[in-house]
Amino acid sequence: MSDGAAIVLCAGQRVDRGHRADFFPEALEPVVRRAVRARLIELGAVIGYASAAPGGDILFGEALVALGGELNLYLPCDRADFVAQYVAPAGEAWVARFERLCARAARVTISCEENLLGDATLVRFNNQMLQGMARLRGEALDRPPHLMVLWSAMAPPEPGSPADFMDQWPELGRLSVIDLDDLRLEAGLAEPAPVDPDALALAELDAEISPRAVRAILFADIAAYTRFEDRAVPLLFDFLAEAQQRVEERAAAPLLINSWGDAVHAAAETAHDLADYAAALTEAVATIDPAAFGLDRRPRFRMALHAGPVFVGLHPLTGRSMVFGHHVNRAARIEPLALPGALCASQHFVALLKAEMDRRADEAQLTGQVYAPRYRIVYLGRRDLPKSFGSEEVYRVVDGDWDRDWDRNRDGGPGEPEDAMAPSRMAPPDRMQLALDADLGEIAMVAARVEAFCAVHDLGEAVVQAVTLALDELLTNTITYGFPEGTGGGGEAPWIEVALSLAGNVLTARIRDPGLAFDPAEAPAPDLDSDVDDRPIGGLGVHLVREMMDGLEYRRLDGVNEVTLTKRVRPATTDGDSE
């Protein structure tokens, strides 16, 4: 059984009624839709990541959901602003499709809860979020993600475009291109006209000129700082001066760093740079002997790491460098969630960190060097933020150079919840639902989706064969005999639904259709004792279904057949859950 790609992220060519319409004309949509569906089936995609711009993104999302996949949408800005600037220009029909897709997605994440302001920085950051989160999910499931690009070579490489995305994707072996120019030639459509630079929006021409920049952001403070008496504060600062000397030996200085009292605020150009600084500071304060400085207890930093587009400038009163904006405020709200001695990070930060580490690994491979990722990322779950800042997907960043025994060695303070840093699972989806036409050609698609679902759950080949053969038999019977004269038992237009679900050690497959009533559980057992030439035709297939499955139930409700199959399964690997 092939593992397939399992996790696929998409960068799709946009359409609108301006210059982009020529790169993705309306007449090409049916051809592209079929190509996307076929590629998703071929890749075995179960989990998808994409934005939701009209054109390739929405077609990808619609196809994945129709194939029973889990769709994760990421928008670069406030939802209403995204619709106004990206979706509405393509027409009201695309707006309606956008809303329906968001309703069917497993989750819709806003990368930056603010308006675009004509700024391409937010779009590029959204691509970084998409890539990083798909990579993290892939690491958790041991399924590296695959990039699918719906691309026209004639389209300008705008910020956030498929060409821009490809430039940031290092693994060419996990890149799948659907060439819109080739598809339009196959469809007999004319080649797109050359781009007129005067037709491009000013924001697109000046894409590199932006008041905002993506920065990694740190907020930290010393836990229980107020318990240090005034006479101990100078001693504490001597301790921190020694810590700073050690930090300078291990990590590059941040682009900016500010401090007031026990609080520290820093910003760096990359997530890896800031993680290096935070890890070095954490290690220094954890390994220096406080007694050597006259302290009776060890100071411990609580550190929060975040990332996002921020405004960069000089403080009008001090003249010092500063960053400001929504993401700076959000980083400050994450800091209270951190435990002393731990690095607590948002999904924005770990998305960038994971993508940066994977790029380093790819570069090392190309040059024949050995690379071991320094940081391990542990998902903790969604946590509420203080001061009405909503909630955040929170992670712990573990420094593999020295922090492997953090959980065992930390000296937790009073009131620390035992499970505050307990890992959660980034599990694969536990169900898949398919809508089929009453066509025998659809059975191959069902078999491919069953294989993809079983692969992402590490179920064995025997399970795949048993379930696909059982579904093949029952669907063939339904399609061949269940819809005489093209209608169901009540004259209804034919339709078929197949749903898979995994709960504990039981895989369930359910078939629903409005065809003629037929209870396979009541079908007579075939005559297996007589000579082959003397046996009546039929009945053997349903018998095999009973033999291969552990459970077979039937009911008919409101004119709809419902057959439920159950199979006890055993994961291919039984060495326990992984983080």
Q: Residue 407's pLDDT is what? A: 47
Rounded to an integer, the average pLDDT of 466-484 is: 93
Q: Which of 109-123, 370-384, 471-485 has the lowest mean pLDDT?
A: 109-123
Task: Return d(Cα 18, Cα 168) in angstroms, integer.
Answer: 27
User: Residue 28 in contact with residue 183, Cβ under 8 Å?
Assistant: yes
Measured CA to CA, the distance from residue 152 to residue 116 in angstroms comes to 25
pLDDT surpassing 80 at residue 206: no
**Regarding predicted confidence, which is higher, 378 or 204?**
378
Would you state the structure tokens that stand for residue 24, as one six-digit string? 């993705």
Phi, psi of 46 (to 5 degrees): -115, -30
Neighbours of 528 (CB within 10 A): 10
User: Which residues sit opposite 564 in a β-bridge?
Assistant: 510, 553
pLDDT digits (tens, 9 = 90+) for 371-426: 999 999 998 888 889 877 888 889 999 998 765 444 444 444 434 444 455 556 67
Q: Which residue from 559, 131, 519 is spatially nearest to 352, judged by alpha carbons?
A: 131
pTM: 0.86
H helix or E strand, kind and range, residue 306: strand 301-314
Return the half-sphere exposure (C-beta side, CA atoms, 13 A cut-off) of residue 160: 28
In order of their start, the domains of the chain are: 7-205 (3.40.50.450), 212-409 (3.30.70.1230), 431-568 (3.30.565.10)
Q: Which residue has the higher pLDDT, 73 or 140?
A: 73
Query: From CA 147, how far away is CA 131, in angstroms rounded?
Result: 9
Tokens representing residue 113 in the block: 């809860």
Span 428-453, average pLDDT:
95
Contact 112, 125 (CB under 8 A): yes
pLDDT above 80 for 203: no
- Quick one: tokens of 192? 């797109």
What local confidence, expressed as pLDDT, does residue 532 receive?
43
User: By three-state DSSP, how is residue 300 classified?
Assistant: coil
Whether residue 11 has pLDDT greater than 80: yes
Nearest to 382 by CA among 350, 413, 347: 347
CB 72 within 8 A of CB 454: no
Neighbouring C-beta atoms of residue 376, cutoff 10 Å:
14
Q: What is the dihedral of CA 110, 111, 115, 119, to 10 degrees?
A: -150
Q: Given strand 146-151, what is the order of strands in its sheet?
A: 107-110, 70-75, 47-50, 7-12, 146-151, 175-179
Q: How confident is the model at residue 133 (pLDDT cuts 50, 70, 90)?
A: very high
Asked whether the predicted pLDDT for residue 149 surpasses 90, the reply is yes
Q: What angle do CA 445, 447, 453 make, to 5 degrees?
A: 100
Q: What is the mean pLDDT of the chain?
A: 86
486 pLDDT more than 50: yes
Average pLDDT over residues 259-288: 94
SS3 of 514, please?
coil
- Give 439's contacts (C-beta < 8 A, 6+ positions apart): 479
- Residues pairing with 560 in the sheet: 557
Distance separating alpha carbons of residues 64 and 9, to the nearest angstrom:
11
Between the alpha carbon of residue 284 and those of residues 291, 403, 540, the distances in Å are 15, 12, 72
Q: Give the least confident one: 296-300, 313-317, 406-410, 484-488.
A: 406-410
Whether 138 contacts 103, CB under 8 Å: no
Q: What amino acid occupies position 116?
A: L
> What is the pLDDT at residue 195?
60
Is residue 392 within 8 A of residue 385, CB to CB? The reply is yes
* Three-state secondary-structure class, residue 160: coil
**Confidence (pLDDT) at 15:** 86
* DSSP H or E stretch at residue 544: helix 540-548
Q: For the segment 161-197, what is each residue's pLDDT rounded down to a tens digit?
A: 898 899 889 888 899 999 999 999 888 887 766 665 5
Residue 244 has pLDDT above 60, yes or no: yes
